[in-house]
A and B are shown apart, each in its own frame.
Chain A
Amino acid sequence: GAVVSQHPSWVICKSGTSVKIECRSLDFQATTMFWYRQFPKQSLMLMATSNEGSKATYEQGVEKDKFLINHASLTLSTLTVTSAHPEDSSFYICSAFGREETQYFGPGTRLLVL
């Protein structure tokens, strides 16, 4: 199957700092990528849809100025958590559509904001 990578796999930061998470499709081009957030023992919640070359579409309740998404190329989307706070601590997962026309997920990035 298709391979999606994320970097970093985990990050610890101080409250008020910004954190950038990268999502890459390694062996295919992805015009659309998705960013999800998962809290402990909860399901994945869609945050935003990232489209190459255009603005991201955010789900209701997700602050676009806090979670900046840039889909600069067909293989890379980035999520920047600006001025992170402890309540932003979560597991962030990206996904992209592969050749089999289904979504493949990255391994996730665990963010801990102190």
Chain B
Amino acid sequence: QKEVEQDPGPLSVPEGAIVSLNCTYSNSAFQYFMWYRQYSRKGPELLMYTYSSGNKEDGRFTAQVDKSSKYISLFIRDSQPSDSATYLCAMSESNSGYALNFGKGTSLLVTP
């Protein structure tokens, strides 16, 4: 079993919809959770960074972490065509010196 599971999609939604992206994991030692956005042929761009359980909001983006369920989510409100990309969840046991464990990424398409 992979340590991080993420549905690859693709996920297609109309503009303005609320998007929900999710990952599950098996390693209870993970404490740092990140969401990256990757456009085609580009490097990943950090969107959200959270530590331990709880919610974090930044503009149209909300990240949720439920460590008891080993489940993290990213919500995108008022989705825009420019949000069309692959979204990767990533997590780590430590915030320094440790490589990240990535999900496979979910491909999102927001249609006008």
Find chain B residues with CB under 8 A from A67 CB: none
Is there contact, CB below 8 Å, between B8 and A102?
no
**Neighbour of A102 across the interface among B32, B41, B43, B88, CB < 8 A:** B32
Is there contact, CB below 8 Å, between B43 and A93?
yes
Find chain A residues with CB under 8 A from B44 CB: 44, 93, 105
Is there contact, CB below 8 Å, between A104 and B46?
yes
Q: How many chain-A residues does the 8 Å CB contact rule pick out?
A: 25
B71 within 8 Å of A by Cβ? no
Is there contact, CB below 8 Å, between A42 and B104?
yes
Docked Cα-Cα span, A6 to B42, in Å, equals: 11
Is there contact, CB below 8 Å, between B88 and A44?
yes
Q: Which chain B residues in 61-109 approach chain A with CB under 8 Å?
A: 88, 90, 95-97, 99-100, 102-105
A28 within 8 Å of B by Cβ? no
Find chain B residues with CB under 8 A from A4 CB: 43
**Neighbour of B103 across the interface among A43, A93, A104, CB < 8 A:** A43
B30 within 8 Å of A by Cβ? no
Find chain A residues with CB under 8 A from B32 CB: 102
Question: What is the CB-to-nearest-CB distance from A45 to chain B, in angstroms, rounded to a whole number?
Answer: 8
Q: Which chain A residues in 55-113 approach chain B with CB under 8 Å?
A: 91, 93, 95, 97, 100-108, 110
Question: What is the CB-to-nearest-CB distance from A42 to chain B, in angstroms, rounded to a whole number?
Answer: 7
Question: What is the CB-to-nearest-CB distance from B99 to chain A, in angstroms, rounded to a whole number?
Answer: 5
Query: Are A103 and B43 CB-contacts (below 8 A) given A43-B105, A44-B88?
Result: no
What are 23 A-B pairs at a CB distance below 8 A?
A: A1-B46, A6-B43, A32-B97, A34-B100, A42-B104, A44-B44, A44-B88, A44-B100, A44-B102, A46-B100, A91-B41, A93-B44, A95-B100, A97-B96, A97-B97, A102-B32, A102-B46, A102-B95, A103-B34, A103-B46, A107-B42, A107-B43, A108-B42
Chain B residues within CB distance 8 Å of chain A: 6, 8, 32, 34, 36, 41-46, 49, 88, 90, 95-97, 99-100, 102-105
Question: Besides A41-B8, A43-B6, 19 other CB < 8 A contacts?
Answer: A1-B46, A32-B97, A43-B103, A43-B105, A46-B99, A46-B100, A49-B99, A91-B41, A97-B96, A101-B95, A102-B34, A103-B46, A103-B100, A104-B46, A105-B43, A105-B46, A107-B42, A108-B41, A108-B43
